[in-house]
Chains A and B, each alone.
Chain A
Amino acid sequence: MSAGLNMDYTAFIPEFMLVGLAALVVALDLFVPQFRKSWLPYVAASGLLVTAGVSCAWIDKQVDFARLVTVDDFTTYFRVFFMAIAAVVCLASGRLVEERLRHPGEYYALIIISTVGAIGMAAARELMTAYLSLELLSFSLYILVSFQKYEGRSNEAGIKYLLLGAFSSAWFLYGLSLLYGVAGSTYYDDIARALSEDTSAYDFALLMGLVLIVTGLGFKVAAVPFHMWTPDAYEGAPVAVTAYLSTTSKAAGFALLLRLFSSALDVVHDDWSWMIAGMAAATMLLGNLVALQQHNIKRLMAYSSIGQVGYMLMGIAGLSHDTASAIVLHLTGYMVTNLVVFVVIIAWYNMTGREEIADFRGMRERAPLLAAALAAALFSLAGLPLFAGFVTKFILFQAATEEGYFWLAGIGVVTSVISLYYYLQIMREAFVSAPEEGAEPLRVPYLMQGLTVALMLGVFYIGLYPQQLFEAIDEATRVLFV
């Protein structure tokens, strides 16, 4: 049965390590009562980082496992990337979990497990694997979103996210089934081979399948009009989870999109590029326009993330090696920046328990470091120079232009100006408005300070000297287009 299949399980060492780590965390939480709960985040984070280090062993290798997954530079890149994000989120959520949530062990375990799912999405070269990894990620997120279980908003967010998620994955599956029907296989390369023949006989089925797949993935990455869960889930979820939602789940979605559309569906590029293009336009506009109206910081970040998704979809629409690497570059820069913002939000929330934009007033006076980091990060999100946002966005748009999507680039630039407006509104609260009376300076934990500074360095690194990173990404995405 398994003749000629490489079943070399060593390729999964990092994933196994992660599962082990998850188990360890839970176990520590359960069976070692005298173990200081507050150490869990450090355990999880260090474990993740170690694993990330281990997975670097696969750089420039190309291991295929039963044609289901391959561990190549693309996978490796995202492995490291996801683990890093997870580590940051674990560290950032330490105090929050202690003070506001129960079951810390499961919390970290879920984050770690979901990372496995995310990696699977990036690595899969077969529909089932891709789908199941996606579900693994989603399930963990469903739980995490409703983790604040005595909090009505958390439940609401959970139920909405879960039901819509199930709904959308039904669509996705239906699309997969049609694709399977027309291609007769679930392997990306078979699909590509099948579709490269004359498809006129079953064009409609194929198109329907593509539409549904785009729908499903559009839901995952929160593209208009499949975005509607995003603001609610972001607002309802515990803020650390929001950070995780806005980073890993999106990034994983894009990893899957890139892998699937490049190695399986590239041959029918014209059949789906316009859908993505349309979605991109709608997403950029709606995300940034509605963000103008928000007053809750989490909700605002939700909409801003929707806008960012639009930019990256622009690249997917004109998918090519250049755009792919541009997307990943932007993705990276965006994720790092986003984490800065969320670390600041988390820290502020921990100290003040507030999450309205208006509650940021006087941050300059009360927590200068956070304020500075926030300002820099928001500038970066708005795409202003010295920070990551400018160069990554510029390269992304230029790449899209090179692929003939000048108009999308146009919309992108316009909307990023709109976004600047609401980012400046936040800065205004933080820097211009005076703190309310009797608000004395806050002592930001060293952990948070350290995180902020480290991430800021990342932002500046990408913004000021992206050469190596960009080369690495270029390498990583090359394997998609062989």
Chain B
Amino acid sequence: MHSGYWMIATIAIPLFTAAILVCVPDSRRDVVRWISAGVGAALFAISMYIFFAYEVDKGEGYQFFIRWDWLENVGFLKDHGISLAFGVDGIAAPMVLLTGVVAFGGTLISWKIEHHNKDFFVLFWVLVSGVYGTFQSLDLFFFFFWYEVAVLPMYLLIAVWGSSSVFPTFARTKEYSAMKLTIMLVAASILIFLGIFAAFHEAGLGTFDLQRLYEPGTFDEDFQKLVFPLFVIGCGVLAGLWPFHTWSPDGHVAAPTAVSMLHAGVLMKLGAFGIIRLGIQLLPEGAAFWMPGLMVLATTNVVYGAFAATAQRDFKYMIGYSSVSHMGYVLMGLATMNVIGINGAVLQMFSHGIMTALFFAMVGAIYDQAHTRDMALFKGLANKMPLFTFFFGVAGLASLGLPGLSGFVAEFNVFVGTFRTYPWAGALGIFAAAMTAVYILRMMSMSFFGPFNERWADLKDMTRLEMATGVLLLSFLLFMGLWPAPFIDRISESVIALPGVT
């Protein structure tokens, strides 16, 4: 069997699952659950396969490559005009794995959803297929196609199953957050749209096939300088680029657990991934010209996010802002345009994905019982729910870059890369990492330590499913933290191949 079918499977299976689930009657909740769990496991397995079957040092750019022509030789389209072209390189492979892991975790966590869980999983699987598609597409049109597919279900997912939050100073309804998230992301894709139009027109090849567009000399330098910002900002918004990040804290807060996991864990990575695929690979000279600017914004992200996180009272808001900060590291790494930095960026994409998914899973676990996420209301949970505290703490440590967990490997590479080119940015980044310690510990000591608040006497520790999710994610945190070689081998191979990367 052509190995490319595995990739097709990652996209087709979720879509078909969605189609099948539509036909399941509303009342059969368990059927939905079991189907979804099975599919989640299957996808996880396939992702593992794709990751480990990816052969390092094979020498060819994209492995598992497969192409189905979709629209060609009609209108302005020539050969391979628009084709379902899929392929995985060393950068995409970890992302595919990430998607598999988080999606599986998400299905497990969503087990307890009662209200129309059928609809939920339909949308959920559409989302997942979109994510897989984006990571594997090698066709400009379909890259964007799947990108939008991934954004599409967000509104309903958040607005129906999400939660509004009210604070002394301000309030956010779930509808508002959902709408803002959707509109901002789609609005950002305006820029990508325009970039694609311009690129196709400029190239004049009559095809959206990325591999042909990648050929050097397709775009002259002025054009690249002109269009690069479109792509980088367009994708950047999804990656939480400052100052276009505000959808992310509100959105993640409002979203139901699994969606927060998938969105913060995987979807934000689509943005960064897009910057690599559409920015660096498509327009290397433009990248060379604009990256300093991106570095400035990214540094802002990192510091800004960290500071904002220190002032939050809501678990999810804190995590949301820390995501802004951590995605800043990703952008930083990309902006360095050197191998170590971009390695670090991709590692950070993976690491942050797992870590933040763990965070959100845990927050969900407590929110479902306590129906509040206000840190100030909790106190001394550590003795009431030790396991929960443990997993939460590990996530926190990963995010503050504790060696031995994935966060350190990634951030460390980013810092080294950044110091090569922008020492000041690197220093600020490390400073922000210390700030991370501040807000993580603030949160821990606020709600997990200290005398126990009797109001929560009836809280239970984690359920089995939550345990399973936690262990699943934790294992990958440790895997990458202690033995990063498998990741770095794959990533670096492709990163070195990127154009214009020193």
Chain B residues, Cβ within 8 Å of A147:
none
User: CA separation between A379 and B159, bound complex, in Å?
Assistant: 16
Chain B residues, Cβ within 8 Å of A470:
71, 74-75
User: CA separation between A413 and B195, bound complex, in Å?
Assistant: 12
Contact B71 A406 (CB under 8 A): no
Contact B182 A424 (CB under 8 A): yes
CB distance from B26 to the nearest CB of A (A): 7
Contact A432 B175 (CB under 8 A): yes
Contact B76 A322 (CB under 8 A): yes
**B288 interface hit (Cβ, 8 Å):** no
**A466 interface hit (Cβ, 8 Å):** yes
Contact B70 A431 (CB under 8 A): no
Question: Which one, B71, B156, B194, contacts A409 given CB within 8 A?
Answer: B194
CB distance from A380 to the nearest CB of B (A): 11
Contact A394 B141 (CB under 8 A): yes
The chain A residue sitting closest to B118, CB to CB, is A368
A398-B76, A465-B70, A467-B74 in contact; A413/B155 too (CB < 8 A)?
Answer: no
**A471 interface hit (Cβ, 8 Å):** yes
Could you give, for residues 178-214 of chain B, a 1 whenever the CB lies within 8 Å of some chain A CB and a 0 otherwise?
Answer: 0100110011001001101110110000000000000
CB distance from A409 to the nearest CB of B (A): 6
CB distance from B25 to the nearest CB of A (A): 10
Chain B residues, Cβ within 8 Å of A413:
190, 193-194
A384-B152, A385-B149, A417-B190 in contact; A431/B159 too (CB < 8 A)?
Answer: yes
Chain A residues, Cβ within 8 Å of B182:
420, 424
Chain A residues, Cβ within 8 Å of B198:
401, 406
Chain A residues, Cβ within 8 Å of B71:
391, 466-467, 470
B139-194 at interface with A (beta carbon < 8 Å):
141, 145-146, 148-149, 151-152, 155-156, 159-160, 175, 179, 182-183, 186-187, 190, 193-194
Chain B residues, Cβ within 8 Å of A325:
74-75
Contact B183 A402 (CB under 8 A): no
A413-B193, A424-B182 in contact; A368/B26 too (CB < 8 A)?
Answer: yes
User: CA separation between A424 and B26, bound complex, in Å?
Assistant: 23
A333-380 at interface with B (beta carbon < 8 Å):
364, 368, 372, 375, 379
Contact A427 B156 (CB under 8 A): yes
What's the A-B contact tally at a CB cutoff of 8 Å?
A: 96
User: CA separation between A390 and B194, bound complex, in Å?
Assistant: 14
User: CA separation between A337 and B183, bound complex, in Å?
Assistant: 22
Contact A401 B156 (CB under 8 A): no
User: CA separation between A417 and B155, bound complex, in Å?
Assistant: 14
**B460 interface hit (Cβ, 8 Å):** no
Chain B residues, Cβ within 8 Å of A368:
26
Interface size on B, residues (CB 8 A): 36
Most buried by A among B152, B156, B187, B193: B193
The chain B residue sitting closest to A369, CB to CB, is B22
Could you give, for residues 457-474 of chain A, a 1 whenever the CB lies within 8 Å of some chain B CB and a 0 otherwise?
Answer: 000000001110011001
A386-B126, A432-B159, A465-B70 in contact; A402/B187 too (CB < 8 A)?
Answer: no
Question: Which one, B70, B116, B146, B159, contacts A428 given CB within 8 A?
Answer: B159
Chain B residues, Cβ within 8 Å of A379:
152
**A257 interface hit (Cβ, 8 Å):** no
Question: Which one, A385, A406, A467, contacts B197 given CB within 8 A?
Answer: A406
A401-B198, A420-B186, A428-B175 in contact; A375/B156 too (CB < 8 A)?
Answer: yes
A396-450 at interface with B (beta carbon < 8 Å):
397-399, 401-402, 406, 409-410, 413-414, 417, 420-421, 424, 427-428, 431-432
Chain B residues, Cβ within 8 Å of A420:
182-183, 186
A385-B148, A424-B179 in contact; A397/B197 too (CB < 8 A)?
Answer: yes
**A395 interface hit (Cβ, 8 Å):** yes
A386-B149, A470-B71 in contact; A398/B156 too (CB < 8 A)?
Answer: no
Question: Which one, B74, B141, B152, contacts A386 given CB within 8 A?
Answer: B152
Interface size on A, residues (CB 8 A): 39
CB distance from A157 to the nearest CB of B (A): 32
Chain A residues, Cβ within 8 Å of B200:
398, 401
Chain A residues, Cβ within 8 Å of B76:
322, 398-399, 402
B52-80 at interface with A (beta carbon < 8 Å):
70-72, 74-76
CB distance from A393 to the nearest CB of B (A): 10
User: CA separation between A410 and B191, bound complex, in Å?
Assistant: 9
The majority secondary structure among interface residues of chain B is helix
The chain A residue sitting closest to B162, CB to CB, is A432
**A326 interface hit (Cβ, 8 Å):** yes
Chain A residues, Cβ within 8 Å of B141:
394
Contact A399 B159 (CB under 8 A): no
User: CA separation between A368 and B23, bound complex, in Å?
Assistant: 11
User: CA separation between A384 and B127, bound complex, in Å?
Assistant: 13
CB distance from A437 to the nearest CB of B (A): 18
User: CA separation between A394 and B142, bound complex, in Å?
Assistant: 11
CB distance from B154 to the nearest CB of A (A): 10
Could you give, for residues 95-136 of chain B, a 1 whenever the CB lies within 8 Å of some chain A CB and a 0 otherwise?
Answer: 000000000000000000000100100000010000000000
User: CA separation between A444 and B261, bound complex, in Å?
Assistant: 37
Question: Which one, A326, A385, A417, contacts B75 given CB within 8 A?
Answer: A326
Contact B75 A390 (CB under 8 A): no
Contact B156 A402 (CB under 8 A): no
CB distance from B186 to the nearest CB of A (A): 5
CB distance from B124 to the nearest CB of A (A): 15
CB distance from B74 to the nearest CB of A (A): 5
User: CA separation between A326 and B81, bound complex, in Å?
Assistant: 15
User: CA separation between A178 and B431, bound complex, in Å?
Assistant: 76
User: CA separation between A474 and B198, bound complex, in Å?
Assistant: 23
User: CA separation between A467 and B196, bound complex, in Å?
Assistant: 21
The chain A residue sitting closest to B122, CB to CB, is A372
Question: Which one, A384, A427, A465, A474, contacts B74 given CB within 8 A?
Answer: A474
Chain A residues, Cβ within 8 Å of B179:
421, 424
Chain B residues, Cβ within 8 Å of A384:
148-149, 151-152, 186
Chain B residues, Cβ within 8 Å of A427:
155-156
Contact A390 B145 (CB under 8 A): yes
A384-B148, A406-B201 in contact; A471/B186 too (CB < 8 A)?
Answer: no
Chain A residues, Cβ within 8 Å of B201:
398, 401-402, 406
The chain A residue sitting closest to B69, CB to CB, is A467
Contact A471 B74 (CB under 8 A): yes
CB distance from A321 to the nearest CB of B (A): 8
Contact A401 B197 (CB under 8 A): yes
Chain B residues, Cβ within 8 Å of A397:
193, 197
User: CA separation between A160 and B197, bound complex, in Å?
Assistant: 41
User: CA separation between A470 and B71, bound complex, in Å?
Assistant: 8
Question: Which one, B26, B75, B119, B149, contacts A322 given CB within 8 A?
Answer: B75
User: CA separation between A424 and B151, bound complex, in Å?
Assistant: 13
Chain A residues, Cβ within 8 Å of B151:
384
Most buried by B among A372, A379, A398, A409: A398
User: CA separation between A254 and B156, bound complex, in Å?
Assistant: 35
Most buried by B among A410, A432, A471: A432
Contact B194 A410 (CB under 8 A): yes
Question: Which one, B75, B160, B197, contacts A432 given CB within 8 A?
Answer: B160
CB distance from A364 to the nearest CB of B (A): 7
Chain A residues, Cβ within 8 Å of B194:
406, 409-410, 413
User: CA separation between A210 and B478, bound complex, in Å?
Assistant: 72
User: CA separation between A471 and B74, bound complex, in Å?
Assistant: 6
Chain A residues, Cβ within 8 Å of B72:
467
Q: A397-B197, A420-B182, A428-B155 provided; 13 other pairs, C-beta below 8 A?
A: A368-B26, A372-B22, A384-B148, A384-B151, A384-B152, A385-B148, A394-B141, A398-B201, A420-B186, A431-B156, A432-B159, A467-B72, A471-B74
9 contacts between A and B (CB under 8 A): A325-B74, A326-B75, A398-B76, A399-B75, A399-B76, A413-B193, A421-B179, A466-B71, A467-B71
What residues of chain B have their CB less than 8 Å away from a CB belonging to chain A? 22, 26, 70-72, 74-76, 116, 119, 126, 141, 145-146, 148-149, 151-152, 155-156, 159-160, 175, 179, 182-183, 186-187, 190, 193-194, 196-198, 200-201
Which 10 pairs from chain A and chain B are nearest by CB? A401-B197, A385-B145, A322-B76, A413-B190, A413-B193, A385-B148, A432-B159, A384-B152, A417-B187, A322-B75
